[in-house]
Structure 1
Amino acid sequence: MSNTSAVAGRSNVKVLDLVYISIGAALIAICSWISIPTAVPFTLQTFAVFFVLLLLGGERGTIATLIYILLGAVGVPVFAGFSGGIGVLLGSTGGYIIGFLFMGLIYIVLTRVFGKSLAVKIIALVLGLAVCYAFGTVWFMYVYTRNTGDIGIMGVLSWCVFPFILPDLFKMALAFVVAKRVEPAIK
């Protein structure tokens, strides 16, 4: 294989990575628009983050998530309810969106250290989701207290975490099933 062919081959892989990352970011945006409005909206956003990490891998999936967040930060209406802007991220629910990055980072670390078995992927996503909840809850408490008044941890958990645990675990299971079905098409 000549040097030109090797460079062209690497260039094609990079272009394909960019395409997958872009599609991943778009999928997260589309899934965030599918929502049931509550204090923290029920969306398919977490399904999309799980799916993108499982299908694209930790690095590409986390980059897709970061691009999604950056698009929203600059005002593109990619967040729940077709909203966007830095105000959404700085608002009471912004910590849960930023928490998606921690989910990706945990997925990267655990799959690199312990391999990519089903058990490792499940543990990585569950642990990542727990960290996302924790970061988002602390963020929510800080912003809510600053803007509205004191709120207890149980109040925040009852609004922002407890109602989402079972649906998020269902979305995670669904992401595993769908990723397994789609995976052969992108290899």
Structure 2
Amino acid sequence: MPLPFLTADRALQADGRADPVPPPSHGPDHWRRPYRPGPWRVGTAAVFLLLASFVLFSALIIALAGSPAGAAVCAAVGLVVIALALRLVRVGIWVSARGLRQVQLLRTTTLPWSAVAAVRTVQQPVRWLGWPRTVQGQALHVERVRTEPLRTLLTDHNADFLGRPRTFARAADVLEAWAAEYRAR
């Protein structure tokens, strides 16, 4: 069964340069992530799904014991944990011919390409796996045309790229190429 949110489109040409032009089979509303989710993100989602299985199993035991209200609460908690795990896998940057979409755990920000002034990689202190601890690293920034910059899109120390610097560089190149291609239109 294909899981489109786990696959990254092959957005590189044979010589390694970014190719932002979408395949002809996809329309302008086809959102895609130009990189695969990292092992830290997938592992955390797997732990949440494991936790959800225990919670749902306990809901079954509570229901068999004769407490339907407690079983319903337990099942609702299990479903919330499953939704959280699925949303965690979808977190990241998505692009299409229409614009750039930053999916976070609880909210999504979509910018049309006309609102993007620049996409660039900068050296700065970045948060390690989103925790308060900072380390020196690279971050991908989006500057908006008339307002404050968008929150940092990607870092080389987040859950998708920790320990995979070449993957971060490739994803940053692809996102910069998409921005250069579609801002010109």
TM-score of the pair, normalised by structure 1: 0.27
Larger Rg: 2
Greater helix content: 1
TM-score, normalised relative to structure 2: 0.27
